Structures are given as structure tokens and as C-alpha cells.
Structure 1
Amino acid sequence: MPGTLEVCANSYASALAAQLGGAKRVELCDNLAEGGTTPSYGQIKLAKQQLNIAIWPIIRPRGGDFLYTETEFNLMKEDILIFKSLNCEGIVIGILKEDGSIDLSRCRELIELAKPMQVAFHRAFDMCNDMEKALEDLIEMGIVRVLSSGGAASAFSGMDQLARLVKQANGRITIMPGAGIHAANIQELYARTGATEFHASAKVWVKSKMAYLNTTAKMGSIEDEYQYELTAEEKVRELVTQLENLNP
């Protein structure tokens, strides 16, 4: 198959749906509304026990920017040790400095700590002050894959930049388009960027089965708290089918 699908899974249930739909790998995270944060120990442990799909947890202690305190950095290191003990195939990181460049020192420390797990870089890359320089930094550090929308709101709108990054990478690192990818645009993204791996959440809203609804109290910032997001097996299968139908 000329294209590989990674699913951004927000739970064990989503990771299972990704596997059943034919995805090759999941970036397992929590809190998709904040762009993804570190998943729980329990989610990863259950996924590794029950699933065959490759599990790559995101190492991100909070939403917001990618400039972390020393305490947050120490939390990231502890999470890496936990996920290494669970035999995860890899982890996904991203740390920036105040000026928008990649924090090379901290990233190298996490890469070394993660061994023998491989390390990918998430969309902190899209917030860099110089994407071309950042890409060379990632290659030099041994990062195997970088998730990017080309610095745009979606991968589709960032296609031209993604194509330039794929050309610059020249096989030294995988450029994986992500953000707003679905079955109707993945083939065009493949054709116009030259990318061979793609990242999508393939999610749907699942309505609560609660019979009693208190519509006055609020637990958080989500407008309708009687629903939640979940990866849909059928949406994953649609994406995989689109990739299978590509001309190699």
C-alpha cells in the first residue's frame, strides 16, 4: 500500500476502533480539544495488553504552548519511563524555546531517555519560527517522523509547504500531514505533497445514554457535556480504503 494511516486516538476504545478499521499505528492521547495531552497509565497498559496496533503515546503534560517549566519537563521524563516499561513502540514529543526554536537540549535528553523506543515530533513543529531549520534539527537528533499541517490551520491548506518539507526531507525523516484529513481529501494530499504517511482522528460525536440530563450545571468548557468524541471504525476504514486505492 503506498500510504500509511496513523490515527490520533483519545482512548483505548478509539485505539481499538483504529485497529479494527485497518490503521497501522495510533498516537494515543487525551483531551483532543486541547490538541492532545499525555494519556493515563491505564489507557496505555490496556492498549498494550489487548491490541496489536503500534502504540505511540504523546508526551504533553498540558494544553497551550510548548514552553515548559522544569516541573513539567520532569513530568515528561517520568511518563516516558512509564511508557517504556509498558513496551510502547515509540513516543511523540515537542518542546520549544521562548524564541520559537526547538529546545534541542531538552529534546535530546528525552530521546536518550526513551531508548530503545523511537521518537516522533508532534505539531509543536508548526509553531516553530523557522520550519526548514527546525526540520534539519529534528533529522540531526534522530527523530523518525514529524506531524505537520505545514504551519496552516489544516493540512489541506498547508499542502504547498508540506510538499516543500517532503522535498527537503528527501527520505531522511517522514513528513506526516495531519489536521483536517478525511476520506474526501487524503488522495489529493498524497498526490500534491508526496507524503506517504497520514494522521487523522477519524472521530465522531457519541451522544450520552443518560436518561436524566442536568442542563444547568457545567463540569468544563465543552458546550454540550452530554456527548464525547470517539474514533469511528468506519471512518478509519474509509481512509484506509482511499489509501489502498492509490496508484503505488
Structure 2
Amino acid sequence: MTLVEIALDDVAGARIAEQAGAGRIELCNALADGGITPSIGLVREVAARLTIPLMLLIRPRAGDFVYSEQEVQVMLSDIESLRSAAPSAGFVVGALEASGAIDVEASRRLVDACGDAPVTFHKAFDSTRDLSSSLETVIDLGVQRVLTSGGRRTALEGASVLRTLVEQAGGRVTIMAGGAIRAENAGEVVSSSGVTEVHLQAAVQRPSVNSWSNPEQGYDAASVTATDPGVVRGVVAELANLAMLGKAGA
């Protein structure tokens, strides 16, 4: 069956996602900004509650993926610290050159810092000029998987490119589809692309529990982000149904 990975930044969401059928968690902070490196406190709390694999995003800031030497050093230090905080966790990394190619030197340093932990090259991959060439570069880095929408806005729109990448990879690396995946399109994405893993956010906004807030301040937002178990269950159920149909037709 297709593995479902959920990206989240709320401590309660990890257990919610696991109980709803997720097979792996990608943990970050500031998911609304595309995600940045999670704090040690968040990592420890989530790792203590999970029984499924945990991946940790390493990204020092929002914005592009072209990093200065100082930013690379920040990421290396974060990896070292988080390996101690969650020894069984994997990492999600990536760096690009300004030209739109993968920054091989920086990316290799990040991958090497992860040691024997599993590594995913994140969606910076989709910002490269040539996905086919970039795939070979990523494979040479020794990562376990690549998160991609085939360079398109959504995984469904990029399904044909995803299939090409799956065929090119030939089992050397896992192609994980991500990009606006929901129950209504997950089956089509998987059947059209041939991927064996999908990645999605299951975020929902819930009202703040505040009974009062200062109208002159904007720090206490009217809502907070949480993980919606219904979204997770819907995707998991759709992919389970797809798997059953495949067995029935075999």
C-alpha cells in the first residue's frame, strides 16, 4: 500500500496523524511559510509520542533555497543538535545554486552530517531547471527519497512527469509525490504516476481558546493551526481502496 507522510508543525498533530493512519511524519515549524527547522523542544515532545518514523525538516528560513555559508553552518549545527534530541529521526534537506542547479557541495555536507539517518531531498528539487539531471545529482548524494510534484503546481498536474522520474529512478531512490494531495485526487496521482509514497499537509484552522484579546495587539491570532484527522483518514482510505482494487484486478 502507498505510504502516506503528513507534514505538520503542531505537537498534538503527530499522534492525531498516526492514529488516522499516517505512515510517517515530517515535522517542522512555521508550516504556513513552507516550513523551517523545528525546535528541539517540539522534536523531543513529538518523538516521545510517536511509533511511526519521524523526519525533521532542516531549513533555516523561509524563502529561496540558496544559502550562504553561515546558513549552511546553521543547518549543520541544527542537524547535530536534533540527532541528539531524536536519535531515530531522519532528515529533510536540500540546497540550490542561484542558477537553478542543485548546490552539490552544500547538499553533500548536509547529507553527510545526517550520518546513517534516512534523508529526503525536499521540494527545492522542483525549483531546479532540469529535473532529470537534478534527479541523477540527488541520487549521487545518497538520499533515500525525493519530494516532488514533478515541477508543477500540484502533484496531479505533474503526474506524467512524476511517472517519468519514477521510471528514471529505477528503484535507486524513492519518488514521493507532494502537492495539494487530498482524498479526491490521491488515487489518480498514484495510479497515474506510479509513486509508492505521498506527502501532504492536513492542516486546519481552529478558533483560538482566548476568551479575551487586546484589540491593539496582533500577536494572539484569532485561530491556530491544527492537524485534521479527517484529511489524513480520507487519503489513507482512498489509497487503501486503490490497493484493494489492484489486488482484485491482478
With normalisation by structure 1, the TM-score equals 0.94
The separation in 2 between residues aligned to 1:217 and 1:243, in whole angstroms, is 44
Q: Is the 8 A contact 1:56 1:88 kept in 2?
A: no
SS in 2 for 1:181: coil
Amino acid at match of 1:18: A
User: Which residue does 2:128 correspond to in 1?
Assistant: 128
Q: Is the 8 A contact 1:120 1:146 kept in 2?
A: yes
- Aligned counterparts, 1:177-216, within 5 A: 177-216=177-216
| Structure 2 alignment gaps of length 5 or more | none
With normalisation by structure 2, the TM-score equals 0.93
The separation in 2 between residues aligned to 1:228 and 1:167, in whole angstroms, is 41
**Using a 3 Å threshold, how does the CA distance of structure 1 residues 168 and 11 change in structure 2: closer, same or farther?**
same
Report whether the alignment pairs 1:234 with 2:230.
yes
The separation in 1 between residues aligned to 2:208 and 2:88, in whole angstroms, is 32
* Structure 1 residue 127 displacement after superposition: 0.4
Range that drifts further, 182-191 or 77-86: 77-86
Amino acid at match of 1:148: T
Report whether the alignment pairs 1:105 with 2:105.
yes
User: Which residue does 2:75 correspond to in 1?
Assistant: 76
User: Which residue does 2:41 correspond to in 1?
Assistant: 42
The separation in 2 between residues aligned to 1:19 and 1:72, in whole angstroms, is 32
* Structure 1 residue 217 displacement after superposition: 3.1
Could you say what the CA RMSD is over the residues aligned between the two structures, in angstroms? 1.4
Q: Is the 8 A contact 2:10 2:225 kept in 1?
A: no
- Aligned counterparts, 1:31-180, within 5 A: 31-85=30-84, 86-180=86-180
Amino acid at match of 1:34: D
Amino acid at match of 1:137: T
SS in 1 for 2:62: coil
Size of the alignment, in residue pairs?
A: 243
The separation in 2 between residues aligned to 1:233 and 1:103, in whole angstroms, is 37
Amino acid at match of 1:118: P
Structure 1 segments of 4+ aligned residues over 4 angstroms from their partners:
none
The separation in 1 between residues aligned to 2:190 and 2:2, in whole angstroms, is 8
The separation in 2 between residues aligned to 1:153 and 1:20, in whole angstroms, is 29
User: Which residue does 1:5 correspond to in 2?
Assistant: 4
Note the alpha carbon deviations across 1:10-67, whole angstroms, 9 max, x for none.
Answer: 1221211111111111110111121111011011111122221211100001000001
* Structure 1 residue 213 displacement after superposition: 3.8
SS in 2 for 1:176: strand
Amino acid at match of 2:131: M
* Structure 1 residue 130 displacement after superposition: 1.0
The separation in 1 between residues aligned to 2:216 and 2:153, in whole angstroms, is 33
* Structure 1 residue 111 displacement after superposition: 1.4
* Structure 1 residue 216 displacement after superposition: 4.9
Q: Which of structures 1 and 2 has the larger relative contact order (alpha carbons within 8 angstroms, sep 6+)? A: 1
The separation in 1 between residues aligned to 2:27 and 2:63, in whole angstroms, is 18
- Identity among equivalent positions (%) equals 38
The separation in 2 between residues aligned to 1:73 and 1:201, in whole angstroms, is 26
User: Which residue does 2:20 correspond to in 1?
Assistant: 21
| Structure 1 alignment gaps of length 5 or more | none
